[in-house]
Structure 1
Amino acid sequence: MTEPDQPKVHDLDARSLRGLAHPLRMRLLDALRFGGPATASQLAEKLGESSGATSYHLRQLAAHGFVEDDPERGKGRERWWKAAVQGLRFDDALLRDPSPDVRGAADLYLHEVATAQTQELSTWLGTRAEWSDAWNRSTDMSSFTLRLTPQLASELAHKMHELVDSYRDRTDVEDDPEASTVRVQSRTFPISTD
């Protein structure tokens, strides 16, 4: 059970993964998670899609529990949507599922996550002149190459997650005018040296 002040994390299973593993659905969910509630028309304009497409995919996301109606907004026929989850947890077992459909959805999901992260970094690089010198000095784009066992790689990733989590609920920055939402991306993967 999620505590009231803790973000709701959705554990992806075979059924929900098939409901999410679509490029537009993933973009819609991210738009609602990070941009707040919106209508299908607003999301269509923001994402450069038709409102018919966004409406259809929002209903699919709702059927799988990722988004929901926002009853506090909207008048008459205007339907507002909000994210029902703030985090997603991917189980690597989905990549070994007996069903080729599930494995394909898992592969698509991971590739879309990587694409979205690359686009976010590219956007930052393209707009960094709009940010203060303090923010430009505070960013990091590092790459480290280590020689590890699978167990050590897992331990390293876990420790990095713990460190990031220790910054998640800092209340001392809530009213700080220099504070901004920060994206921290982490990747740990083996490479071939042949």
Structure 2
Amino acid sequence: MTSDIPERRVIPTSEVLAALAVPSRLAILSHLLSVGAQTATLCADAVGLTASNCSWHLRELSRFGLVERAADDDGDARKRPWRATITGIDLDAGGGPGDDLARAAVRSAWFADTDARFADFLRHESTLPTAWREAAVINDYAVLVTADELTAIGTRIDEIIRPYIRAIRAETPEGGAVASVSIRGIVDPRFIDGAT
């Protein structure tokens, strides 16, 4: 990974995992990571909350250092945008052994959001410009690997994608748009000796 790309992935504590297990907060954080700085009102519209409820969740996310105000105080807090302070979350490295339920809830909510975006793409695919339809990457691979090799694949994919993350790439290139790239590299428990 090049040294000029900020890591900024948070390793969550038990408290952060519990906070993110609230689907509305995860949806707000995901939205800010996707589109950049937004007011509470714009976030609320995007995730289906009231502005006041969204503001409360943003303050909670701020309490854990996951978001911050994007501009100096101009006297009207309703017009001040919020931004994510991270580029991602390393769920495997954070929390404690008793946090498995919260970790699973965060993963489930995060990928439910990802799956909803994929379903939305499929609904609108025929109306998209040809270049974006042809650029779509929709693959599923069954790979024969060791645990170390699967880890290495994930690391290499992250190194390729990280320079393009919305929270890192602040300037939109000409013709650019936010795209969703989701990676799940998981072992199939049916093929592990002793797994149930």
TM over 0.5: yes
* Equivalence for 2:174: 176
Aligned residues: 186
Is the CA contact (8 Å cut-off) linking 1:43 and 1:54 kept in structure 2? Answer: yes
Deviates more, 1:85-94 or 1:140-149: 85-94
Structure 1 residue 188, shift from structure 2 partner: 0.6
* Equivalence for 2:27: 27
* Equivalence for 2:85: 85
* Equivalence for 1:159: 156
Structure 1 residue 107, shift from structure 2 partner: 1.2
Indicate how the Cα distance of structure 1 residues 7 and 73 shifts in structure 2: closer, same or farther if over 3 A, else same.
Answer: farther
Structure 1 residue 74, shift from structure 2 partner: 5.5
Q: State the TM-score, normalizing by the size of structure 2.
A: 0.78
Q: State the TM-score, normalizing by the size of structure 1.
A: 0.79
AA matched with 2:184: R
Tell me the C-alpha RMSD between the 2 structures.
Answer: 3.0
- Percent identity of equivalent pairs: 18
Structure 2 residues not aligned, in runs of 5+:
none
AA matched with 2:80: W
* Equivalence for 1:121: 118
Is the CA contact (8 Å cut-off) linking 1:9 and 1:85 kept in structure 2? Answer: no
1:69-107 deviations in Å (ceiling 9; x for gaps): 233476535252412424123242547x243xx222111
1:115-152 deviations in Å (ceiling 9; x for gaps): 11111111111122332112211212111112222122
Indicate how the Cα distance of structure 1 residues 110 and 174 shifts in structure 2: closer, same or farther if over 3 A, else same.
Answer: closer
* Equivalence for 1:54: 54
Larger RCO: Structure 1 or Structure 2 (Cα < 8 Å, ≥ 6 residues apart)?
2
SS in 2 for 1:83: strand
